[in-house]
Structure 1
Amino acid sequence: MEDLGLNAPHSMGTTIIGVTYKDGVILGADSRTSTGVYVANRASDKITQLTDNVYVCRSGSAADSQIVSDYVRYFLHQHTIQLGQPATVKVAANLVRLLSYGNKDMLQTGMIVGGWDKYEGGKIYGIPLGGTIIEQPFSIGGSGSSYLYGFLDQAWKDGMTKEEAEDLVKKAVSLAIARDGASGGVVRTVIINEEGVTRNFYPGDQLPLWHEELAPQDSLLDIWGTAASPEPMTTE
């Protein structure tokens, strides 16, 4: 029997993205989690809350990115209690960097930290495999990111409105889904600004189609569920 890698670690062959706009940041991600070539979860949430004002996009090993997020969330909670005010985006990103770099021989995860604070406004930090940290106006990661560098270099611009930035994030993730076999599912976005946090969800039929891509179709199970029950087959 062909080995489909069903016992392989859960891996988020992924597309994650964070962009700044004039009032804050927008994070986006696809939703496919795979185990070998088997899709273990087609609607996973790869954008995780660290504090009220800071979120992280996770790629790579699902277990590794989850444990790093859990530790950072715990440390930031303690930090907030001691300071009596929310942690800044820079503090959150540097905690992710410390854990990633200190355990780089054991972790297989790349992350993007984004958020808003009253000192520096909206900030995006890329923390790729190995634990370096890079402050960027936009950052991309995961297996689908290799299809997006040229697109984002051309499409991103300084001072975008919230609508322009979210449209760019949605377009970029849907393009990666079309080109990258390890990315798929729905698109989730998180908008973070002075007013708070807004989460949005875009199923496949609300995403733009790309060259040679087929329009979403109802599955046979959906069709059978809505159609009248067929007559049982009989043999003469």
Structure 2
Amino acid sequence: ETRSSSSTSASKQVLFRFRGGGSEDQNHQLDVPGASPLLLAHGTTTVAMVIDGGIIAAVDSRASMGAFIGSSTTTKFIPISKTIVGTMAGGAADCSFWLRVLGEQVRVLTGNGARVTVRAAARVLANVLHGLSGGGLSIGTMIMGWDGGAEGGSPDLYYVDSEGTRVRGSYFAVGSGSTYAYGVLDAGYQRNMTVGAAAALAARAVQRAAFRDAYSGGFINVYHVNATGVTQLSRAYDESVLS
């Protein structure tokens, strides 16, 4: 075995232990002595769409542990820079950690005078995750933001996952409830929508997903990203679980 492959193997083992596991277990079990393994479910619903006025995104706030709701107030919208953000779907710790690592790298680059675009940020994350593919990470994120100034700038949106996949698109739904959310987005999305109409569509997509998907729910948070930064448009509790 070469030194390079040994180093890669050792790095992956360190990553597994850092994440709380001792082996390459893809199921993300909590290893508690004397207790039955508890599988960590990775359910969520996050959506984002490009419109002429920027990016509209909506995310739920539920974090699951098996059949249990671990939290109903999880933040799934992570700032990377003033005008670039990422969403969380998959393992909460995996997503949060690597999006914050990306944020640190972007800050270093911008601090040295570089202009980091949404495309570049998505590529950096995809390259890092591709190098760790097979390591048991569970990440499905949307990297979105505004490139350029208010005049001549434009919004951009990418999907990136833990295998290093990077896809550009006009809208995405990610998470266990994405199938239901896509039905709403496919029927209602238009690039020239107003901010208000797009926000209502995104919120409805997450709400309908939460109605059918047991692992999605909690608060529905809606955001607008444009040249001036990120604005939270609304935060409403999903009452569909009570109806």
Question: What TM-score do you get using the length of structure 2 for normalisation?
Answer: 0.78
Distance 1:49 1:11 in 2: 24
Contact kept, 8 Å, 1:33 with 1:41, in 2: the verdict is yes
1:80 shift after superposition: 0.5
Would you say 1:21 and 2:51 are equivalent positions? yes
The one-character-per-residue Cα deviations of 1:83-141 (angstroms, maximum 9, x if unpaired) are 255x2111111122112211121211111111111175111101134221111000110
Would you say 1:192 and 2:222 are equivalent positions? no
1:191 shift after superposition: 0.7
Would you say 1:169 and 2:202 are equivalent positions? yes
Distance 1:104 1:9 in 2: 21
Would you say 1:90 and 2:119 are equivalent positions? yes
Would you say 1:144 and 2:173 are equivalent positions? no
Residue number among 145, 167, 181 corresponding to 2:214 in the alignment: 181
Distance 1:54 1:89 in 2: 7
Tell me which residue corresponds to 1:220.
Answer: none
The 5-angstrom pairing of residues 58-77 of structure 1 reads 58-77=88-107
Contact kept, 8 Å, 2:78 with 2:87, in 1: the verdict is yes
Would you say 1:124 and 2:157 are equivalent positions? yes
Distance 1:55 1:7 in 2: 34
User: What SS is found at the alignment partner of 2:214?
Assistant: coil
Residue number among 130, 133, 139 corresponding to 1:104 in the alignment: 133
Contact kept, 8 Å, 1:10 with 1:40, in 2: the verdict is no
The residue type paired with residue 141 of structure 1 is V
Quick one: structure 1 residues 101 and 185, their matched pair in 2 at CA, closer, same or farther if it must change by over 3 Å? Answer: same
Contact kept, 8 Å, 2:223 with 2:234, in 1: the verdict is no
Distance 2:177 2:234 in 1: 19
Tell me which residue corresponds to 2:63.
Answer: 33
Unaligned runs of 5+ in 2: 1-34
The one-character-per-residue Cα deviations of 1:193-236 (angstroms, maximum 9, x if unpaired) are 1232201342226x7x5xxx644xxxxxxxxxxxxxxxxxxxxx
Task: Kindly name which structure, 1 or 2, has the bigger radius of gyration based on alpha carbons.
Answer: 1
Moved more, 100-109 or 46-55: 100-109
Moved more, 9-18 or 191-200: 9-18
User: What SS is found at the alignment partner of 1:27?
Assistant: strand
Q: When the two structures are aligned, how many residues end up with a matched partner?
A: 205
Distance 1:44 1:150 in 2: 25
Distance 2:134 2:50 in 1: 31
1:152 shift after superposition: 1.6
Question: What TM-score do you get using the length of structure 1 for normalisation?
Answer: 0.80
Quick one: structure 1 residues 127 and 164, their matched pair in 2 at CA, closer, same or farther if it must change by over 3 Å? Answer: same
Residue number among 45, 54, 64 corresponding to 2:75 in the alignment: 45
Contact kept, 8 Å, 1:45 with 1:188, in 2: the verdict is no
User: What SS is found at the alignment partner of 1:169?
Assistant: helix
Contact kept, 8 Å, 1:143 with 1:180, in 2: the verdict is yes
